[in-house]
Structure 1
Amino acid sequence: MTSTAKSWPAGYRIHPRETGLPAGLVKAFAALPTAAIGDAMSRNVGTYGLRQYHRRLETVLCGPALTVRVRPGDNLMIHKALMMVQPGDVLVIDGGGDLSQALMGGLMRTTCLAKGVAGIVLDGAIRDLVEWAEDGVPVFARGHTHRGPSKDGPGEINVPIACAGMAVMPGDLIVGDADGVVAVRASDAEEVLARTLRHLEREAQIRESNQTGSADPERFDAVLRAKGLPV
């Protein structure tokens, strides 16, 4: 029997872009803080160790993930991914956390602008910081260096990756703001949206009770008593 599956050289793989997130769902998540989304998903998800390189703190990154895994210091597959992106996509790149060579710079940012990329999440380094600080392409990266990358490969596109401690599947909904970046499985997005909205309602009630001085002391005293403290 002849196999119709594409055969890739070792270390190289390119899968088609995932689709399926409704525009209305993406818009709804773009209005939610990442901290609340994370709280709605057990508070133990999202990136750590990345910093925001775009200037405006209020900028929100939101869109479906096009994932890339590269050899540290090499950006061949990122260039290929930029040929595949659609407007509104978020490039999520596993660069192994390496800071010895920048994986993206100002020229690639120009391509991102032309393609309508919704943002970059990069577990690696960037360069040309003045350009990235401008409006247009929000970027979260591990760090920066002036040293440029090689373009030899290997790498993979649209495969499951780990980016700054966060598991990301192709097509996951990525949301990033001044607090950090979270990934929501596409199949779970509707449920997580509902949970997040309920969580924000509870937070609004707590905020009001804090402001009016009417917070219930039992909220924490009951927890302390359960641990054996006589309060």
Structure 2
Amino acid sequence: MSTYKALRKNPSAPQVPAALLAALRELPLAALSDNMHRSIGTVGLHPYHKPGERTMAGTAVTARSRAGDNLTYLRALEFCRPGDVLVVDAGGDLCNAVVGGILTFYASTIGLAGVVIDGAIRDVAEIRASEFPVYARGVTHRGPYKDGPGEINVPVTVGGMVVNPGDIVVGDQDGLLAIPQDGGVPELIEKARAVLVAEAKTIQAMKEGRWDRSFIDALEARCNN
């Protein structure tokens, strides 16, 4: 008797406290990134949805699938709770779409915060008409296979960024970040808020013609040493 299993499944990690997610949704990704050494985040994944007023933030449910196959995605939806972000490592392949308009719409109806696919999607016109967050590497008209194999709730890599089950996935039109739940999130939120306050002061100074540019001399001097 064969012991082959098309899918390897693990339980979902505990969800991030709602208060933290609510705070993150009020912050632009750039303000968070500036306080994470500017070295964390996806490269090459793009938002395909209509821009919304708030940042996407949710608990990661992860999946690793064969390129262009969505059996893992279909099963992983059962592991998602309202407010989760489904993150799929499809190897960055663009030959066949992992999902399209129907399956991203279904994800929105069960309350997901968003979907991230390191692979291809299709039905882009439908997806762009909705504010439901969908990120992907690219687009193709060719549909998915449904054969597996795949894994659910394992560490994955999307756009060069490692995402573990239970990480906080944050995204806006600039891209995506994954933040460990034990990564000092309350402190990160306060630092990001401070960035916004400082930026508002800078913009006001620019409007009034009193922006102090002396810091440029200090930067150049530092680089010359």
TM-score by length of 1: 0.89
Aligned to 1:26: 21
Alignment partner for residue 58 of structure 2, among 51, 56, 63? 63
Aligned to 1:91: 86
Please name the residue that 1:213 is paired with: 209
Give the AA of the match of 1:19. Answer: P
Conservation of the 8 A alpha-carbon contact between 1:76 and 1:151: yes
Q: Quick one: which of 158, 165, 168 aligns to 1:163?
A: 158
| Paired residue type of 2:188 | V
Deviation, 1:214, is 2.3
SS at match of 2:73: helix
Equivalent residue in structure 2 for 1:75, among 65, 70, 73: 70
Q: Distance in 1 between matches of 2:50 and 2:105?
A: 17
Q: Is the 8 A contact 1:82 1:111 kept in 2?
A: no
Superposed, which structure 2 residues align to 1:9-158 within 5 Å?
A: 9=4, 12-56=7-51, 58=53, 60-158=55-153
Which has the higher mean CA deviation after the structures are superposed, 192-201 or 52-61?
Answer: 52-61
CA–CA distance in structure 2, aligned partners of residues 82 and 93 of structure 1: 11
1:58–1:178 Cα contact (<8 Å) kept? no
CA drift of 1:11 comes to: 7.7
Per-residue CA deviation, residues 85-129 of structure 1 (Å, 9 max, x unaligned), is: 111111111111100000001221232122111111111111112
Residue identity in the other structure for 1:89: D
Counterparts in 2 of 1:179-218, with a 5 A limit? Answer: 179-188=174-183, 189-218=185-214
CA distance in 2, matches of 1:112, 1:98: 22
Instruction: Give 5+ residue unaligned stretches, structure 1.
Output: 1-7
Whether the 8 Å contact between 2:97 and 2:142 is mirrored in structure 1 is yes
Structure 2's unaligned 5+ residue stretches are: none
RMSD: 1.9
Q: Aligned partners of 2:9, 2:77: CA distance in 1, in Å?
A: 13
Residues 26-79 of structure 1: per-residue CA shift (max 9 Å, x gap): 000000000111111111111121222112354532211111111111111111
Q: What is the TM-score normalised by the length of structure 2?
A: 0.91
Where 2:119 maps in the other structure, the secondary structure is strand
Contact 1:113 1:136 in 2 (8 A): no
Aligned 8 A contact 1:59 1:178 in 2: no
Number of equivalenced pairs: 222
CA offset digits 1:176-221 (Å, max 9, x no partner): 1111111111112222212212222222232233332323333121
Q: Residue 11 and residue 216 in structure 1: after superposition, are their counterparts in 2 closer, same or farther (change >3 A)?
A: farther
Asked if 2 retains the 8 angstrom alpha-carbon contact of 1:59 and 1:138, the reply is no
The match for 1:228 is 224
Q: Distance in 1 between matches of 2:149 and 2:198?
A: 47
